Structure 1
Amino acid sequence: MLPLPPEATALLDDLEAPPRLTAHLLLVHDVAASILDWLSSEYPGLPVDKSAVLFGAATHDIGKTVHVEELSAPGTRHEPAGHELLLSRGVPERLARFAGTHGSWPAEGVELEDLLVSLADKVWKAKRVDDLERLIVGRLAAFSGREPWEVFLALDDRLTALGDKADERLAFQNNHPIRR
């Protein structure tokens, strides 16, 4: 597993992030890195800010340091809280935005980087979201000139392969306590 970016690790340490949150962010970051590697291979020259995606994947749920209850129950209060928390810690908007956009990917003006963080946050546990994947397929097809069905088939193969390790990832995350 790839280590989190040092800036993300420092933030999580400073905020005394729950171990389960850190484990989750590590897993999503690792899946995001795998998706980025695949994109580099399949779509050379694709304009994507890889370091932003990796930082976003490593911090997208940082608002759960404030709303710890959302580590074990559904909720979205962590999204605006995480965005504000990152901004208050001096993280630039271009990086802090992922805490707010990872759950609102259908919104207007969402960049490919936001979609990729959202995708990694779903696929790490083998969850597939048709609307999200369609948005990504559309962007990749427009960039490459390939037919959308062709792009979809390749993406589907990659996401299925990533989903094959979901049980291991879930077990890893769940072996970490919710509270310090």
Structure 2
Amino acid sequence: MTDGIAPLPAAAAALLAEVGAPPRLVAHLGLVHEVAAAVLDGCAGYGVPVDREAVLFGAATHDIGKVVHREELSVPGSLHERAGYGLLLARGVPERLARFARTHGSWTDPGTTLEDLLVGLADKAWKDSRVRDLEDRVVARLAQAAGREPWEVFLGLDDLLAGIGADAPRRLAVQVAHPVA
């Protein structure tokens, strides 16, 4: 762990270096990647097949489009989503991995997969932001795939996210310690 952030997958770290990602963006992506790993570990008990590599890569690169739309490093916006998707594809990243740059903020779109939802969930949970609609969609997918009752899955996910949320102040402090530019 460097600067309070677990290392990113090598391919993601190389891409971020190649495109000149600023330190705060790299820190953010590392922290969301860390949370995505915790979410995946917490969901493993349901026995639902999930493409772990894709979720972790997606978490580690979901905001890469902010190198193109740098204003979105400081203010909300979604222009980085499509830009990041195109940037990743242009660098030879397979669509199954590049898509998270486009889908992490649009969990209601048709064709959204459980993996897409998990990256979106990690992107919210890292700072202890709870989005009921997103969480309900994750619960529904996990419950259906695992043959479990939604309330049972909800309780497990709620406990998991509460635990992740308890460490949000540390993650926020780590991110803000890195310069935007």
The question of a shared fold, defined as TM-score above 0.5 by the shorter chain, is answered with yes
How is 1:98-113 mapped onto 2 (pairs within 5 angstroms)?
A: 98-113=100-115
- 2:98 is paired with a residue whose SS is helix
Could you tell me how far 1:2 is from its partner in structure 2? Answer: 2.9
Cα distance in 2 between the residues matched to 1:104 and 1:39:
21
Instruction: Confirm whether residue 5 of structure 1 aligns to residue 20 of structure 2.
Output: no
Instruction: Confirm whether residue 14 of structure 1 aligns to residue 25 of structure 2.
Output: no
Structure 2 unpaired stretches of 5+: none
Cα distance in 1 between the residues matched to 2:114 and 2:148:
17
Q: Which aligned runs of 4 or more in structure 1 are off by greater than 4 angstroms?
A: none
Q: TM-score if structure 2 supplies the norm length?
A: 0.96
How is 1:31-46 mapped onto 2 (pairs within 5 angstroms)?
A: 31-40=35-44, 42-44=45-47, 46=48
Cα distance in 2 between the residues matched to 1:154 and 1:38:
8
How is 1:16-165 mapped onto 2 (pairs within 5 angstroms)?
A: 16-40=20-44, 42-44=45-47, 46-165=48-167
Amino acid in structure 2 at the alignment position of 1:144:
A
Cα distance in 1 between the residues matched to 2:97 and 2:65:
14
Amino acid in structure 1 at the alignment position of 2:37:
A
Percentage of pairs with the same residue: 64
**Aligned Cα root-mean-square deviation (Å):** 0.7
Deviation string 1:64-118 (CA, Å, 9 cap, x unpaired) is 0111110110110000000000000000111000000001111010000000000
Could you tell me how far 1:144 is from its partner in structure 2? Answer: 1.8
The residue that corresponds to 2:179 in the other structure is: 177
